Structures are given as structure tokens and as C-alpha cells.
């Protein structure tokens, strides 16, 4: 290798590495941005969800964070094809992107005791 190349090669290598590193960082930020969803925390306990009413925009992606204060519950929104178990001691995440406007019922779909049948709430999807 000629002496000039030998001198600049490490600098070029550093430059390439820096550019590649920058590219990876930018890509990671982009990926984080596409994963971004509004967080809505919903906690369940016998026999209520809190909050029991959510408002979401059509096409908006929300991350519904589900937890239970006592026993195994279910969170089901049949009209929006979304559901999740809510095991005690765990935090569950349900991503939801409603594609239609209206008010839709959510309910507990795992029997959790007397009163379970009244355990419900609603999601209003606005334009
Ligand atoms: Cu239940």
C-alpha cells in the first residue's frame, strides 16, 4: 500500500463506521416512531373496568395497557376483533386501530364471579 493510502485508510474506515452507525441510529428512531401508539391504561377488578369508556379516533393506533387487581379477566371488543386475557400480576398490551366509526362495547369474557355479566364498558370511535 502506498504511504498516502496507509495514512488515510484508518480515517476513511472511521468515517464509514460513523456513517453506518448514524444510519443504524436513524433507522432505530424511525422504527420507534412507527411503533408509537397512544397509551391508554385500563385496569380491571371485580366487576368493573376503569376507565369504562374510551374515545379513539378512527385510524389511530392505541396501545391499551391492561392489568387486573384481583383475578384472571378478559378484555374483549367483539365488534373491533380485539381481545386479550388479563392474568393477575401481568401487564398486557393490546394494540388497536379502529377502522370504523361508532360506539362499541367491550366486556370481560372470562367468568370472574357473580357480577361478571355486568362487567363492560364502551369505546367511542370518532371520525
Ligand atoms: Cu369477568
Tens digits of per-residue pLDDT, 37-60? 999 999 999 999 999 999 999 999
What's the 71 CA to ligand 1 centre distance in angstroms?
9
User: What is the per-residue pLDDT for 110?
Assistant: 98
Average pLDDT, the chain: 83
Question: What is the model's pTM?
Answer: 0.73
User: What is the per-residue pLDDT for 26?
Assistant: 36
pLDDT tops 70 at residue 105: yes
Domain count of the chain? 2
Tell me how many helices (H) and strands (E) the chain has. 1, 9
What's the 66 CA to ligand 1 centre distance in angstroms?
14
What's the 120 CA to ligand 1 centre distance in angstroms?
9
Which residues constitute the domain of residue 32? 1-36
What's the 72 CA to ligand 1 centre distance in angstroms?
8
Q: What is the pLDDT of residues 65-81, one digit of tens each?
A: 999 999 999 999 999 99
Q: Are strands 120-126 and 53-57 parallel, antiparallel or unpaired?
A: parallel
**53 and 29 together in one domain:** no
Burial of 106 (0-12, 13-18, 19+ CB in 10 A): buried
User: What is the per-residue pLDDT for 24?
Assistant: 37
What's the 108 CA to ligand 1 centre distance in angstroms?
4
What's the 41 CA to ligand 1 centre distance in angstroms?
18
Output 107 or 32, whichever has higher pLDDT.
107
**11 and 44 together in one domain:** no
**6 and 44 together in one domain:** no
User: What is the per-residue pLDDT for 6?
Assistant: 58
**46 and 65 together in one domain:** yes
Amino acid at each position: 500500500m502506498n504511504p498516502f493510502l496507509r495514512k488515510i485508510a484508518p480515517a476513511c474506515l472511521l468515517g464509514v463506521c460513523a456513517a453506518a452507525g448514524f444510519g443504524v441510529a436513524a433507522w432505530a428512531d424511525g422504527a420507534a416512531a412507527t411503533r408509537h401508539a397512544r397509551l391508554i391504561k385500563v385496569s380491571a377488578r371485580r366487576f368493573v373496568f376503569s376507565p369504562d369508556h374510551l374515545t379513539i379516533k378512527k385510524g389511530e393506533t392505541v396501545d391499551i395497557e391492561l392489568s387486573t387487581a384481583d383475578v384472571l379477566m378478559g378484555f374483549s371488543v367483539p365488534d373491533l376483533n380485539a381481545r386479550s386475557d388479563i392474568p393477575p400480576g401481568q401487564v398486557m398490551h393490546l394494540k388497536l386501530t379502529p377502522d370504523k366509526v361508532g360506539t362499541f362495547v367491550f366486556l370481560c369474557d372470562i367468568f370472574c364471579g357473580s357480577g361478571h355479566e355486568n362487567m363492560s364498558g364502551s369505546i367511542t370511535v370518532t371520525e
